[in-house]
Structures are given as C-alpha cells and as structure tokens.
Amino acid sequence: MSQPLFYLAMGGLDATMQDTAAAANNLANRATVAYKAERPVFQAEPLYGAGLSDRVEVSASQLSSDFSQGPIEQTGRNLDVAISGSGWIAVQAGDGSVALTRNGALSISASGVLQTSNGNAVLGQGMAPIVLPPLQKVTIGEDGTISGVLQGQPPDQVATLNQIALTDPPATALSRRGDGLFQDNAGTPQPSAEVRLETGALEGSNTEPVSLMLSMIENTREFEMQTEMMRNVLTADAGQNSVLTLT
C-alpha cells in the first residue's frame, strides 16, 4: 500500500475538518457581543515507531484568537459599555476565578449584582463583585466609575458607588477558556487606568461572515480532493490484493 501518500491525505483531511469546525463556530458567533474570532494553529507531528518514520500527523496544537476590535454600535442604553481600543472587563467566572471579557451588555440583578449578559458578576474595587444598592438612576463613566442616585434621594444627590475593574494584559498572556471568557496566564490581572469605555454602546463580533463562507467553501473543495486521493490509493492497492476498504 502507498502508505505515505495515504497518511498525507488523511492528515490533510483532519486539518481541513478542524479548520472548518473553527470557521463554523466563528460564523455561529457573528452576532455575539464582542466575540473574538478563533483560528486553529496547525503543526506537523512526526510519528515514531517501526514503519512510521515516513508518516506525519497534522493537528491543531492550539486555537489562537483574533483580538482586533469589532465594530462599535450605539445603543443609548446607560448600562451598555464598549471598550475603546485594547482592554478587558474583569468578571467572576462560574468557578469563582477572575476572568476577562469585552462583553459590555451589563445589567443589575434582583440582588443588586452588576453582571454581563452571560450572568458573570462584574468585578470592581479589590477585585470583588460589584453589588449596588437600590438606585433610581445609574451611570458609568469612561474610566469605569459607577455613579448613581439612591432611591429616595434628591435627583441631584449623585453618589460614587464603585469602579469597574478594567485591565489590559498583553495579548501573548491571554488564552480562551472553555466558557468563552479569557484568562491572564500571568496571574491575577492588574487594573489599568489607560483602558477607556464608551457608554451607551456595544462592541460587535470581529468575525467576517463573507470571508468565513469563502473559507468553508475552500475547505469543502480540499475535503473532496483529499478523500478522492485516499480512494485512489485504496483502489490502486485493491488491484494488489489490499484488504483495506474505505467507507
């Protein structure tokens, strides 16, 4: 059997499927607030053992993220914030750890917790969840400062309540978590006074649907080419009494 050619096509087929899966996931998140596109990073991995010296497996060693800013759209809602430029909002993940997001679609829960649309508590001073008292008005400044008028107080009696923890670790220190949030691999992220918010606005996904569709079409063609190559190898070997079959 023409094993090197067969395994070459099989490795390419696996890489094509992984790339297609990433593109499909990006396309599915085209409407997700502040979603960052993911791209698989492929590498060749030689196989070791008797008779394997001429075989190489291709696999996605990791998923890299495109941290470019998505389009900012005005909503006029006072609890919507979009990060202008680089930076992240620190939130509490489901496991209690500190995580990062650019999802600025915020709301206040019945218990007063400021949270994202995914239910993650927004962290503030001291990296603690922000819990707000009953308010009749609330505003968020460009530096993340939260101000408001407490219920029962005069409209002009504005109190400073907390400040959203904004941070800006280097992109090389970030990795995507399984829950869609990001984490700072260097440790607990430190607040940055340089990060700025645009209030009454949300950042859109940075995916490009047209490019993704073209990529998926190209992957379909690659898939067909690689499977045809594998069929041809098996057909040729069948004439030499090969016992392998392709389903």
Confidence of residue 242 (pLDDT cuts 50, 70, 90): very low
Distances, alpha carbon 164 to alpha carbons 75, 80, 89, 210, in Å: 20, 13, 7, 35
Confidence of residue 1 (pLDDT cuts 50, 70, 90): very low
Examine the domain organization and report whether 98 and 33 are in the same domain.
no
Examine the domain organization and report whether 193 and 174 are in the same domain.
yes
Residue 163 is assigned to a structural domain of this protein: yes
Average pLDDT, the chain: 86
Domain membership of residue 28 as a residue range: 3-67+207-238
Residue 247 is assigned to a structural domain of this protein: no
The phi and psi torsions of 12 (rounded to 5 degrees) equal: -65, -35
Examine the domain organization and report whether 150 and 56 are in the same domain.
no
Residue 244 is assigned to a structural domain of this protein: no
Examine the domain organization and report whether 76 and 155 are in the same domain.
yes
Asked whether the predicted pLDDT for residue 244 surpasses 60, the reply is: no
Examine the domain organization and report whether 94 and 145 are in the same domain.
yes
Examine the domain organization and report whether 199 and 232 are in the same domain.
no
Report CA dihedral (147, 153, 155, 161) to the nearest 10 degrees. 0
How many domains does the structure of the chain reveal? 2
| 85 CA to centre of own chain | 17
Residues 124-161 have pLDDT tens digits of 999 999 999 999 999 999 999 999 999 999 999 999 99
The DSSP symbol for 207 reads -
Residue 246 is assigned to a structural domain of this protein: no
Residues 36-55 have pLDDT tens digits of 998 877 666 666 655 555 56
Residue 152 is assigned to a structural domain of this protein: yes
pLDDT > 70 fraction of the chain, expressed in percent and rounded: 81
Residues 154-193 have pLDDT tens digits of 999 999 999 999 999 999 999 999 899 999 999 989 999 9
pTM: 0.75
Residue 27 is assigned to a structural domain of this protein: yes
Other beta carbons within 10 Å of 223: 15
Q: How far is residue 226's CA from residue 218's CA, in Å, rounded to a whole number?
A: 12
Confidence of residue 245 (pLDDT cuts 50, 70, 90): low
Q: How far is residue 82's CA from residue 201's CA, in Å, rounded to a whole number?
A: 6
Examine the domain organization and report whether 216 and 134 are in the same domain.
no
pLDDT > 90 fraction of the chain, expressed in percent and rounded: 60
Examine the domain organization and report whether 171 and 62 are in the same domain.
no
Confidence of residue 220 (pLDDT cuts 50, 70, 90): confident
Residue 243 is assigned to a structural domain of this protein: no
Examine the domain organization and report whether 123 and 18 are in the same domain.
no
Examine the domain organization and report whether 11 and 86 are in the same domain.
no
Examine the domain organization and report whether 148 and 223 are in the same domain.
no
Examine the domain organization and report whether 155 and 186 are in the same domain.
yes
